[in-house]
Amino acid sequence: MSLSQVVRVKVPASTANLGPGFDTLGMALPLYSWLELRPSDRTVFHLHGDQMEGLPQDKSNLIYKVSQMVFQEAGVSVPDLEISMYSDIPLTRGLGSSASAIVGALAAANALIGSPLPDAKLFHMATALEKHPDNVGASLFGGIVAAAWDGTHADYVRIAPPAHLETLVVIPDFQLSTTKAREALPAQVKLEDAVYNISRSSLLTAALSAGRLDLLREAMKDRIHQPYRAPLVPGMSKILEEAQKQGALGVALSGAGPTMIAFVDNRDARIEQLRVYLVETMEAEGITVSCLQLSPVAEGVQVLGDKSDRTFMEMIRGEITA
Ligand code: HSE
């Protein structure tokens, strides 16, 4: 095993479900978290920025624990680490912040010990930790990922983002935990709703593969999670119903919410009109939001080849948006 002195990784955020593809479809988005790992004689943390506030700075930290899982899987001992982290991905908003932390730790720890574990192994480990493959698949592989997980094994296919696909992401200023958003779901769904979702999710996957943006209007519809989650996100039902009339190709709750994501064609002159509509609709419910225009990113987690003497924060300064 060759142990590196330092490894830095950059991990994209992700949106999950894309409407009907509950726990199945994910797409990488250009908001990032950065992580640096160094072998050390004691475990220390340098957590930068607001997103890191309150995170544990001892061996109960997720990054530390996930790194140790990689070392254990590879049969290597690296008991102490110097861990630096910064993230632009808002926490608990449905943009895959926890998935990005898991993927970053897996990729960085693996690179630190000479990359003995293949990507498929990292994907299994990430899915086992996150319990569903949609966010982790997108953060790991980039683009759009269709994945299935049976509790021990995950299969996936990555699809390159279609040309002209762009998104407007409306991020409310309140947090909604995935646990709470999953508790809102029924234990059983009707067969006709299952069929409704299977057909839309299949159509959506095929449409994204074929670049058929014209099909997203129908293909992004969902009946098995969004209707039950709508009461948790003021303005959501209205946006699901009306956004297409304002220029959206399709619209969905991003992951478990509360962020909403509208898919748009970047050649459509109505993007600004749609942005105003989305923001005003949520603000009319008394919610403060920020709205970002984000293009899907083709690249997943990157191990950065930074050999310079720049510090961790010097490296990412200039790239960060917050
Ligand atoms: N597919 C998951 C959900 C994503 O909708 O609950 C949560 O990150």
Question: Mind listing the pLDDT tens digit of every residue in the chain (322 residues)?
Answer: 678 889 999 999 999 999 999 999 999 999 999 999 999 999 999 999 888 888 888 999 999 999 999 999 999 999 999 999 999 999 999 999 999 999 999 999 999 999 999 999 999 999 999 999 999 999 999 999 999 999 989 999 999 999 999 999 999 999 899 999 999 999 999 999 999 999 999 999 999 999 999 999 999 999 999 999 999 999 999 999 999 999 999 999 999 999 999 999 999 999 999 999 999 999 999 999 999 999 999 999 999 966 667 888 888 876 765 4
Q: Is 95 in the pocket of ligand 1 (CB under 6 A)?
A: no
**From CA 21, how far away is CA 212, in angstroms rounded?**
17
Describe the crossing of helices 119-130 and 97-112 by its angle, rounded to 10 degrees.
140
187 & 55 share domain: no
Q: What is the dihedral of CA 214, 219, 225, 231, to 10 degrees?
A: 30
Q: Is 312 within a domain?
A: yes
Query: Which CATH number does the domain housing residue 287 bear?
Result: 3.30.70.890
Angle at 172 between CA 197 and CA 93, to 5 degrees: 60
Q: Is 212 within a domain?
A: yes
144 & 127 share domain: yes
32 & 119 share domain: yes
Buried b (16+ CB within 10 A) or exposed e, 77-94: ebeebbbbbbbbbbbbbb
Entry pTM: 0.94
pLDDT of residue 136: 97
88 & 209 share domain: no
Q: Count structural domains, the chain.
A: 2
Binding residues for ATP: 90-100
Closest-CA residue, ligand 1 atom 8, reads: 255
81-87 and 44-48 as β-strands: parallel, antiparallel, unpaired? parallel
Mutate to test the pocket of ligand 1, among 15, 22, 27 (most ligand atoms within 8 A of CB): 22
**From CA 32, how far away is CA 12, in angstroms rounded?**
5
66 & 105 share domain: yes
Q: Is 301 in the pocket of ligand 1 (CB under 6 A)?
A: no
Q: Is 226 in the pocket of ligand 1 (CB under 6 A)?
A: no
Domain that holds residue 169: 165-294
46: phi then psi, degrees, rounded to nearest 5 = -125, 95
Query: Which CATH number does the domain housing residue 104 bear?
Result: 3.30.230.10
54 & 146 share domain: yes
**From CA 246, how far away is CA 229, in angstroms rounded?**
23
